[in-house]
Structure 1
Amino acid sequence: MDQIRSYFNRFLALNDSEWADFVACCHKEPVPKKEFILRQGEVCDYIAFIGEGIFRFYYVQEGEEHVTAFFFPGDFVTNYRSFLRGNPSEHYIESLKPSVIYKIYKNDLLALYDRHKNFERLGRFIAENLYLTVAGRLDSFLHDSPENRYQELVQRNSKLLQEVPQYMLASYLGIKPETLSRIRARK
C-alpha cells in the first residue's frame, strides 16, 4: 500500500483520514500467471494498482492478438473506457507472471469522490496523466519508425524486454517477430 500512497503523492498528498478511507475500499488480490482479470465482453468496474507482476492489455482480431499496453508494478491497470462508460470491454487484461493487485471498485471510488474533494482532484490528475501517456503512444505510431519505437521502449523500460515474450513485444510495436529480431540484431 505504500507504493500506492507514493504514487498518489506525486500528484496530491492525502491526509490520514482520506488515506484511511481509501485503504478501507481497497481489495488485495493475488493473481496467478496467465490469469485474466478482465475478458473481452465483461464490463470493467474497477481500477487496480499493481503491487507485483506484469499485465498485458490486448484484443483479438481475426484470430490474431494485438498487444496495446503492458503494465508493471507501480502502474494502474484497467480498461478505462469500459470503466467510464459501463460498456463491455473489447480487450483482455492478462497477468504474465504471478502478481498482486489492489482493486478499488467504481462504486467505492465514486463514494470517495463524494466524501473527499481531494479524491476528485487526484482522479483528474491521474486521468490527465493517463491521457498524456496514451496520446504519446499514438503520436509514436503516427510519426516514428518501428526501430525508433523499439529504441524508445528500450530507454523507457528495459525490464519489459527481459520479461515479455518476443512475439508480444512485436505485437506491441506493431511489427512481426521477424522484424523485431532484425531490429535487435542491428543494435
Structure 2
Amino acid sequence: MSLAPNTAPASVLIGMELDQWRLPLSVEVDRSLHQRRDPSEFSAEAMAGYWVAFWRREAATIASGQWERLSLRPTRRAQLAALLGASTLAEFATIETVGDSVYEASGPATDFDTPSVTVRAEWSGVSEILIGPRWAATAQPFEIGHDILACADEIRAQRPVFDEPGRWADLSDAELESAVAQHRLQLEGLSR
C-alpha cells in the first residue's frame, strides 16, 4: 500500500483549488452537473470536490507522516501579537479561541427565502458546504461556483490574521504574556 500522492484526476463535478488556509480559492462546476446529479446531491458533490482538493494539497505532508505540518494553528507568539492588536473585547475573544471557532457565510437569499449556498469552516478548513437544492435546480453551474467562492472569501475576511510579532519581536514570551494580560484588562475596562 502506497501513501504517495495520487496525481490522477479525480472524477468530481465541483472541483476546487484551496489556499494555504484550506479555503476554496477557485471553484469550477462541471456544465453537466445538472444532468449527472440531482440538486439534492450538489452539497455532497461540493464536499467531495473539497476533499479531493484537500488531498491534492496535503497528500505529500500526509504521506511523509509530518502530522504537525497539517496544523494551521498559529504559533503562541503570533497569537499573542494578534491579541495585542485587538481593539475590542470581542475581537480579543475571537483571537484567543481561534482553534474553537466556527466561521459561517451564506450566499444571497433566494426566491425560496433560503441562502443559495452556506459554507461553514473551522480553523483547519471547510466542514460543510450546503447548496440549496431548490435554487440549485435552476442555477447555472457558474452561479453555484461563484456563491461557494463568495462564501469562502467572506470566511477568509472573518478569520483573524496571525503574523509573527513584528513590533513585539524584541519581547520575550513572558513579556508578551504580561503585555497581553494588561491589554485584556484595558479592553475589559473599556467594555464596562
Same fold (TM over 0.5): no
- Output the TM-score relative to the length of structure 1: 0.26
TM-score normalised by length of structure 2: 0.25
Q: Could you say which structure has the larger radius of gyration? A: 2
